[in-house]
Amino acid sequence: RTEQGKLDEVASDIKAFLKGVPESVDEMKEIISYAKMPFIVKGIMTAKGAEKAVEAGAAAIVVSNHGGSVQGACPSTAEVLPAIADAVKGKMVILVDGGIRNGVDVCKALAMGADAVIMARPFVTALYGGGAEGVKILTDKIKAELEATVADLTAKVDAVTAELAAANEALAAAQAELEAAAAAKAELDASAAKVAELEANVSALTAQNEKAAADLDFMAAAKYRDEMWALQQYLEVWKD
């Protein structure tokens, strides 16, 4: 058998095996082991589903709602992609499809956690309308849009980073000024405390001086009385 014949046989066997949707991780493991090739699970719309795909051994998942045709009011892939990426990023390849039409959309999907995107409808139109050249034109257009978007975002990130660095420098300068002001205030508080201490000492010395003056006045008065008494005694003796 040719290699293609073997692949066709495997595909036929898998189709026969997959008469229904796998109902457990173990069934998915069996399918993946039977395929004997990197296995991609399409139609993942929840973080829990992505984690089960990892557990089953899938090499990749496609975050897809199958064009929203599975059920009414189905969420878009953009709504569920971030949570799925948070759950399994780095554990498997994350692909996403659904409404991706240009390079800006590709950039958004990558920013939300996808490793790559799947675009079908735009390329079908390009192929039918322009053949290989149409596909090349569309591919170049998407590439140019993606590069321009990334360049624009990079410039904006650089600008914000510069603003943040300037703000951090201003904050550091303000903090330094605040610390200097705090040190100056501490010196002023210490000076105020010293002044209060000196004022207290002056008050104490003033009180001592006032007491000393009062004592001197008292002693002077007492001496005057003693001299007057002595004079009176002398006069009385002289009279006699």
DSSP string, 101-128: -SHHHHHHHHHTT-SEE---HHHHHHHH
Sequence-ordered strand ranges (E) for 15-71 = 40-44, 60-63
CB within 8 A of 62, min separation 6: which ones?
40, 41, 42, 43, 44, 95, 96, 97, 118
CB 119 within 8 A of CB 101: yes
Active-site residue set: 66
Question: 71 in helix, strand or coil?
Answer: coil
220 φ/ψ sector (left φ>0, alpha ψ -120 to 50, else beta): alpha
The DSSP H or E segment spanning 65 is none
* pLDDT one-digit tens code per residue, 111-134: 999 999 999 889 999 999 999 999
* pLDDT one-digit tens code per residue, 64-89: 988 655 556 678 899 999 999 999 99
- Does the pTM surpass 0.85? The reply is no
Say what percent of the chain tops pLDDT 90: 60
14, pLDDT greater than 70 = no
First to last CA, the chain: 172
| Nearest alpha carbon to residue 76 among 104, 84, 102 | 84
Backbone angles phi, psi at 164, to 5 degrees: -65, -40
- From residue 127, alpha-carbon distances to 61, 110, 121, 124 in Å are 26, 25, 10, 5
Per-residue confidence (pLDDT) for residue 94, from 0 to 100: 98
